[in-house]
Chain A
Amino acid sequence: MIHSLFLVNASGDIFLEKHWKSVVSRSVCDYFFEAQERATEPENVPPVIPTPHHYLISVLRHRIYFVAVIQSEVPPLFVIEFLHRVVDTFQDYFGVCTEAAIKDNVVVVYELLEEMLDNGFPLATESNILKELIKPPTILRTMVNTITGSTNVGEQLPTGQLSVVPWRRTGVKYTNNEAYFDVVEEIDAIIDKSGSTITAEIQGVIDACVKLTGMPDLTLSFMNPRLLDDVSFHPCVRFKRWEAERILSFIPPDGNFRLLSYHVSSQNLVAIPVYVKHNITFREGSSQGRFDLTLGPKQTMGKAVESVLVSSQLPRGVLNANLNPSQGTYTFDPVTKMLSWDVGKINPQKLPSLKGTMSLQAGASKPDENPSINIQFKIQQMAISGLKVNRLDMYGEKYKPFKGIKYMTKAGKFQVRT
């Protein structure tokens, strides 16, 4: 399936290659570079590129292209999903997935890639199993290794691969048994000029961090499971139980994992927590434009809107912006024309605003579209859909774990057209 993998950085250098079958010359990447040149933005490189003898399937994460070389028919999503899984694993191991991190840990990277694919077919992609095979590098371990000459490679054999619960490693032990669940919801919305909602959806995930001894069997139930319209589960969740009782029953993997992602049914009206008053004008003939933006909270159920960040891609004709924020700081990059305003917390008594003028290129005609505004924000302790966890129970082990549930609402792709 996957023949070879090349890692290409932003400047177009191949800094790592790995082959699972016979060696494919790195010149195959020339086709990729060609496509990269044609694309104006890094994101515009097509994910699937046919070449005379191979097919290149690539993903772009953290400004690194992961280019897989394929020789024959294979579902492209299969490769894409796998590549993303590789990136996730690197991130899990090294904290960040940057060129420097990969280069520094090249041996671990190689060992991981070796275990993840056999002859191009995925072998072990479950993080728990991989960690049993290859220990993630930590500063402490690196030091110990150099002193004692021991290794990163686990002495244990990957017994997890054979168990009924392949996602959980065996022999887990903790002194403090804890299970944390984060319900994170994201609002995707497009708001039109007049402030009315064109489309709005809520997508949510439940991320868990479970550090429990032994083989705990957990059940999680909701107060209002009906809200969940479409769900996808971590393989540990017993699907049948969900179908029958709408209860999540599972033996969790050890550590961090995504238990569930869901979509809130579109019948429910989505509460939009912020509003934007905007007045962006360019006058014909004049080299000045006015920019006036005010943010305000709306339907937040009394919770504060925090970490607000406004960004907007201003028209090409704009040379500079001279703005005055009532709070926070703003930056304008004259090259990319990206305006971003770090607002911070919205104070309902004193609404944050950003006002001022933009100077336009002399003689340039008036831009025909106002820029759209992207907003990011966070609201703690609230799931905007109203989803509530009812209870979390543990079976199969005797100790009493510490349980915690946190709610958060974030902006997803939240866009205001102006």
Chain B
Amino acid sequence: MSTSALYNDQGGAEAAVEAGQESTPTSSGTGAAFGLFSTDFKKNEDLKEMLESNKESLKLEAMKRIVGLIAKGKNSSELFPAVVKNVASKNIELKKLVYVYLVRYAEEQQDLALLSISTFQRALKDPNQFIRASALRVLSSIRVPIIVPIMMLAIKEAAADLSPYVRKTSAHAIQKLYSLDPDQKEQLIEVIEKLLKDKSTLVAGSVVMAFEEVCPDRIDLIHKNYRKLCNLLVDVEEWGQVVIISMLTRYARTQFTSPWTENNEKTFYDSDSEEKKEQTEAKPYIMDPDHRLLLRNTKPLLQSRNTAVVMSVAQLYWHLAPKHEVNIVTKSLVRLLRSHREVQFIVLQNIATMSIQRKGMFEPFMKSFYVRSTDATHIKTLKLEILTNLANEANISTILREFQTYVKSQDKAFAAATIQAIGRCATNISEVTDTCLNGLVLLLSNRDETVVAESVVVIKKLLQTQPTQHSEIIKHMAKLFDNITVPMARASILWLMGEYCERVPKIAPDVLRKMAKTFTAEEDIVKLQIVNLAAKLYLTNSKQTKLLTQYILNLGKYDQNYDIRDRTRFIRQLIVPNEKSGALNKYARRILLAPKPAPVLESAFKDRDRFQLGTLSHSINSKATGYQELSDWPAVAPDQSVRNVEVIEPVRNPSSSHTPYHSFTSYLSNSSALLFLFYSITCIHTMSEAHFAVLVCFSDSDENGNGPVAQASSSSPESSSGSETDSEDDSDSDSLAAQKKKKSDVTTPSFGPVKTYELLHHMTGKGLSAKYHFPRQPCLYEPSMVAVQVILTNSSDHSLEEIHIGERSPAGLNIHCFNTIERLEPEASVTVSMGIDFSDSTQAANFQLCTKENQFSVSIQPAVGELLMPSTMTEQDFTKEQGKLLGMNETSATITMATANTSSQAISKQVLSVANVGVVSSSQNNFHRFAGRTVSSGALVLVSLELKESSSALLTINTEKSVMASMLLRDLKQALTQA
């Protein structure tokens, strides 16, 4: 302290802090720390002065000391006006410390806090995303109700920010605003709904957290995002993973049917394959592919280093997976037991619950639950619990041997718990009941009282289950009686005496005699049992015990405890016949000496399974605030199609428009590619083979480690499209769903067949033929490429080897080749996908298709419409953009429509068959608008069609690419005028 005093005398807080920052904890350092924390009014005064000074460094020192005060829990709110002035400081550290202060005290100093708001509002518009984010963070942390509207506005704006980091912050802010003013719920839900659609992994965890906090019951908001969340999961940061997984667990329980079939229980020990067979035979249960997707995508997370993630996956499997698949989580859970003590505690609790229902899951890992003398007591008890749960005929001898060591433990509470456990094993496994009983009797001569007492209690329970031939044990206990002082144990012995008094006719009265002597000195619980014993003996052996009984009853009558007085009175009336006693007297014997059901020794974790595993509620075994019940499986699965993702292109080539894939391709990243492949296998039967090949091809290229990370379809802004498009989309996906069922993989009825072009005829190709088509999907390899699918068929009679792409022209042509096909058998065909950058021109891409022996020059000439990507926009945006592309950029023609093409559907169909554009919803019936962008340069291409009288129409195309415009105009004209 002397040093600190010295520092203080100098009046240099600077010096104090300086020393306080030394990382070496020297004595002067500690002393200075005391100086740092000492608070008297004078010090606060000089803090004020320092804050108001012009020197940045002084201000900083002052703030550091103030933060020290806050950390200590000391009040420094009177400095608020002085601190808040520095909110706009240029010094980052100073600013941050002011933020800390502000967030801490704003609630108490609401009026003054308002002074800082304008600074944040300004920062919210800063070009730097981190400054925007940090402003929003602090603004939303200031718990001042007046600024709710400002916060609301800021959140809404931030939710639409271009930076995912800012959007993440806005998701956090939602929860803060909600807790400040729950009335904003509806508006906040809208923001949540919007953010749920976000494709950034950064946002996903935070927004789901907000969802859980604000509107956990709005399951309907999840539908459309379900698949996306599943696929993003691996790449989300670990804390977000935990939240998403637990939310998806709840979701899945409401949306899918139970995968738990009856026969699973019986065949549990059989091998998996057998079981599967049986399962399919017994029940036509087919798992929803979405259900499978969730299980598949969470599985790799069992390898996470974060114990919370592992636990949440384990609980997901426990609650959602078919019974035979749950076992995969065992190993990971056991691994967690190596972690910190607190982690062990929670994991063991969960294993305890699991092991009651599923012994087999943990039995192979039994030894991991052996107790070490260094374990904390609650860990020991939990391990014991689990070992007891795992005990069966086969392993009981090992377990009992282990228990023998535990009984001798120096930790007596643990030894007592072990005795309980032995008792449970003895009742559960009849083969070892006698062995256990003998062991417990031996323990009766143990020196430790708690051990003996516990043994007595357990023996009592065991004897009750098998009352025959145990008079020896009872006699033995009677002998020990004098040495046992634990009330519960004494009471238990007395009860046993009374219950089986007919088996020990000589000893029981003697015990009663001894008890009569010590009655007044006994504990209440023992007294009750003495009265009990007396009554029972009176009924069976009244000759010897009549007087004793009366003596005891008299003692009991004047006992201090009313329970005992009551009991005595009741017993007296019951057993001693007199004129007042009614009919009950006759039945006294049957009442008191009725055979009693044996107690069932159960696990304390028996009823824990009513709570979702891994939750706080499960851990404390009572419902925690905010606990969300896990619903039972629905008997009939709700409509699956609700999860179909809204497609960006209203119409696409059917063979490529398998809805789930659409979403996949955009979110694929290195780590999820494999899962993606998994998923594709599960639903392979619903899709075209061609498509599968694409997937394989894709994952192949990914294995090189530098595979294509698909662009998170940045080119396609989120759908703000009108309701009309939405309904169209829905009907589209519905029809797709219908197709899936029919397993047809070509053509939708509404949009005409795929145009397939010939690349190489089998005559010129010496047996190798190739066709190609444009799948109209965003290209996986590079966004500026057009995706092309090539179907290679071997029509020769020998197999072709090493099919690959050779030289290309023009020289600079950027092609993403497919991987070399090692071998193509006769009659076999394979579909591969390529990406070609046409640079927005219809110039043909020439290249050589090579086999081992031959080379064939081929060329792909794209139709102009294939060089486009659909773009989603509203009618307003469309007109706005159109306004910018007038004059030179506008090409138009009046055409005469074919009579068949006058309905709006037919028009869409014709236009879309020519060009890969998106429909823009229109408020006018005679106006049709379509929007797209060129693939390579991303230039807008707007097509509008105005219907006039008598089947004439004005076709207008607005784009910078005038060459393309005229070509497109020609193609469209042809399509629309044709019948």
Residues of A within 8 A of B (CB): 1, 14-19, 21-23, 26, 40-41, 43-44, 46-48, 50, 55, 57-61, 70-78, 80-82, 84, 94-95, 98, 100-101, 103-107, 109-111, 114, 118-119, 121-123, 125, 137-139, 142, 145-146, 149, 151-153, 155, 157-158, 161-162, 164, 166, 188, 190, 192, 198-199, 201, 203, 217, 229-235, 238-241, 243-244, 249, 258, 261, 263, 313, 315-316, 365, 367-369, 371-372, 374, 413, 415, 417
In the complex, whether B628 has a CB less than 8 A from a CB of chain A is yes
Provide the residues of chain A in CB contact with B91, threshold 8 Å.
151
Distance in Å: Cβ of B575 to nearest Cβ of chain A: 44
Interface segment, B17-25, B542-550, B681-689? Answer: B17-25
Assess whether B305 is in contact with A119, with CB atoms less than 8 Å apart: no
A61-B340, A162-B202 known; 16 new pairs, CB 8 Å cut-off, are A41-B376, A81-B343, A101-B25, A104-B21, A107-B97, A109-B71, A110-B71, A110-B100, A149-B57, A151-B93, A190-B372, A230-B331, A232-B305, A232-B332, A234-B305, A238-B670
Provide the residues of chain A in CB contact with B370, threshold 8 Å.
190, 198-199
In angstroms, Cα B104 to Cα A21, docked, is 9
Contacts A43-B341, A138-B23, A157-B130 hold; do A77 and B346 have CB atoms under 8 A apart? yes
In angstroms, Cα B208 to Cα A94, docked, is 34
Assess whether A229 is in contact with B331, with CB atoms less than 8 Å apart: yes
Contacts A104-B33, A244-B703, A263-B335 hold; do A122 and B239 have CB atoms under 8 A apart? yes
Q: Mark B183-201, 1 if CB is under 8 A from A, else 0.
A: 0000000000000000000
Of B29, B92, B179, B402, most buried by chain A (CB within 10 Å of CB) is B92
In angstroms, Cα B332 to Cα A16, docked, is 35
Provide the residues of chain A in CB contact with B305, threshold 8 Å.
232-235, 258, 261
In angstroms, Cα B709 to Cα A145, docked, is 43
In angstroms, Cα B339 to Cα A84, docked, is 10
Provide the residues of chain B in CB contact with A109, threshold 8 Å.
71
Contacts A106-B67, A158-B130 hold; do A80 and B21 have CB atoms under 8 A apart? no
In the complex, whether B237 has a CB less than 8 A from a CB of chain A is yes
Distance in Å: Cβ of A82 to nearest Cβ of chain B: 8
CB-CB nearest in chain B for A265: B331
Assess whether B96 is in contact with A73, with CB atoms less than 8 Å apart: no
Provide the residues of chain B in CB contact with A47, threshold 8 Å.
341-342, 345-346
Q: List 9 A-B contacts (CB under 8 A).
A: A46-B345, A59-B342, A75-B616, A103-B33, A109-B71, A111-B96, A152-B93, A261-B305, A413-B374
Assess whether B73 is in contact with A104, with CB atoms less than 8 Å apart: no
Pick the contact of B29: A104, A106, A157 (CB < 8 A).
Answer: A104
Of A78, A100, A316, most buried by chain B (CB within 10 Å of CB) is A78
Q: Which residues of B (679-697) have their CB < 8 Å from a CB of A? A: none
Provide the residues of chain B in CB contact with A61, threshold 8 Å.
340
CB-CB nearest in chain B for A96: B25
In angstroms, Cα B372 to Cα A50, docked, is 28
In angstroms, Cα B585 to Cα A121, docked, is 69
Assess whether A230 is in contact with B33, with CB atoms less than 8 Å apart: no
In angstroms, Cα B615 to Cα A198, docked, is 34
In angstroms, Cα B730 to Cα A35, docked, is 58
In angstroms, Cα B90 to Cα A149, docked, is 13
In angstroms, Cα B71 to Cα A26, docked, is 12
In angstroms, Cα B854 to Cα A48, docked, is 73
In angstroms, Cα B163 to Cα A196, docked, is 62
Provide the residues of chain A in CB contact with B616, threshold 8 Å.
48, 55, 70, 73-76
Of A23, A73, A75, most buried by chain B (CB within 10 Å of CB) is A75
Contacts A104-B29, A106-B71 hold; do A50 and B671 have CB atoms under 8 A apart? no
Interface segment, B404-412, B507-515, B561-569, B803-811? Answer: B404-412
In the complex, whether B68 has a CB less than 8 A from a CB of chain A is yes
Provide the residues of chain A in CB contact with B60, threshold 8 Å.
149, 151
Assess whether B346 is in contact with A80, with CB atoms less than 8 Å apart: yes
In angstroms, Cα B20 to Cα A261, docked, is 38
Assess whether A73 is in contact with B367, with CB atoms less than 8 Å apart: no
Contacts A73-B628, A107-B68 hold; do A142 and B21 have CB atoms under 8 A apart? yes
CB-CB nearest in chain A for B70: A110
Distance in Å: Cβ of A175 to nearest Cβ of chain B: 25
In angstroms, Cα B341 to Cα A77, docked, is 11
Assess whether B23 is in contact with A161, with CB atoms less than 8 Å apart: no
Of A40, A48, A119, A258, most buried by chain B (CB within 10 Å of CB) is A119
Assess whether B25 is in contact with A239, with CB atoms less than 8 Å apart: no
| Count of interface residues, chain B, beta-carbon cutoff 8 Å | 114
In angstroms, Cα B373 to Cα A263, docked, is 23
Q: Which residues of B (371-426) have their CB < 8 Å from a CB of A? A: 372-374, 376-378, 402, 405, 408-410
Assess whether A100 is in contact with B374, with CB atoms less than 8 Å apart: no
Pick the contact of A50: B304, B376, B620 (CB < 8 A).
Answer: B620
Q: Which residues of B (599-629) have their CB < 8 Å from a CB of A? A: 614-617, 619-620, 622, 624-628
In the complex, whether B673 has a CB less than 8 A from a CB of chain A is yes
Q: Mark B40-71, 1 if CB is under 8 A from A, else 0.
A: 00000000000000001100100010011011
In angstroms, Cα B339 to Cα A203, docked, is 11
CB-CB nearest in chain A for B342: A47
Assess whether A16 is in contact with B331, with CB atoms less than 8 Å apart: no
Provide the residues of chain A in CB contact with B615, threshold 8 Å.
73, 75-76
Of B209, B303, B408, most buried by chain A (CB within 10 Å of CB) is B303
Provide the residues of chain B in CB contact with A192, threshold 8 Å.
405
Assess whether B311 is in contact with A75, with CB atoms less than 8 Å apart: yes
Distance in Å: Cβ of A63 to nearest Cβ of chain B: 13
Assess whether B617 is in contact with A73, with CB atoms less than 8 Å apart: yes
Assess whether B340 is in contact with A162, with CB atoms less than 8 Å apart: no
In the complex, whether B758 has a CB less than 8 A from a CB of chain A is no
Provide the residues of chain A in CB contact with B68, threshold 8 Å.
106-107
Assess whether B24 is in contact with A139, with CB atoms less than 8 Å apart: yes
In the complex, whether B674 has a CB less than 8 A from a CB of chain A is yes
Provide the residues of chain A in CB contact with B56, threshold 8 Å.
149
Distance in Å: Cβ of B898 to nearest Cβ of chain A: 51
In angstroms, Cα B306 to Cα A258, docked, is 12
Contacts A73-B625, A74-B616, A77-B346 hold; do A415 and B311 have CB atoms under 8 A apart? no
In angstroms, Cα B93 to Cα A123, docked, is 19
In angstroms, Cα B19 to Cα A142, docked, is 9
Q: Which residues of B (334-350) have their CB < 8 Å from a CB of A? A: 334-335, 338, 340-343, 345-347
Assess whether B408 is in contact with A73, with CB atoms less than 8 Å apart: no
Provide the residues of chain B in CB contact with A100, threshold 8 Å.
25, 29-30, 33
Contacts A95-B23, A151-B92, A415-B372 hold; do A81 and B308 have CB atoms under 8 A apart? yes
Pick the contact of B374: A40, A217, A249, A374 (CB < 8 A).
Answer: A374
Distance in Å: Cβ of A14 to nearest Cβ of chain B: 7
Distance in Å: Cβ of B375 to nearest Cβ of chain A: 9
In angstroms, Cα B347 to Cα A17, docked, is 28
Provide the residues of chain A in CB contact with B372, threshold 8 Å.
190, 413, 415
Provide the residues of chain B in CB contact with A125, threshold 8 Å.
238-239
Distance in Å: Cβ of B512 to nearest Cβ of chain A: 31
Of B140, B141, B340, B627, most buried by chain A (CB within 10 Å of CB) is B340
In angstroms, Cα B372 to Cα A313, docked, is 12
Provide the residues of chain A in CB contact with B376, threshold 8 Å.
41, 43-44
In the complex, whether B307 has a CB less than 8 A from a CB of chain A is yes
Assess whether A16 is in contact with B378, with CB atoms less than 8 Å apart: no
Provide the residues of chain A in CB contact with B340, threshold 8 Å.
59, 61, 80, 84
Provide the residues of chain B in CB contact with A41, threshold 8 Å.
376-377
Provide the residues of chain A in CB contact with B347, threshold 8 Å.
77
Provide the residues of chain B in CB contact with A153, threshold 8 Å.
92-93, 96
Pick the contact of B312: A15, A75, A158 (CB < 8 A).
Answer: A75
Of A26, A44, A137, most buried by chain B (CB within 10 Å of CB) is A44
Assess whether B622 is in contact with A50, with CB atoms less than 8 Å apart: yes
Contacts A77-B311, A142-B18 hold; do A121 and B172 have CB atoms under 8 A apart? yes
Assess whether B405 is in contact with A417, with CB atoms less than 8 Å apart: yes
CB-CB nearest in chain B for A148: B57
Pick the contact of A72: B93, B343, B446, B624 (CB < 8 A).
Answer: B624
Provide the residues of chain B in CB contact with A152, threshold 8 Å.
93
In the complex, whether B156 has a CB less than 8 A from a CB of chain A is no
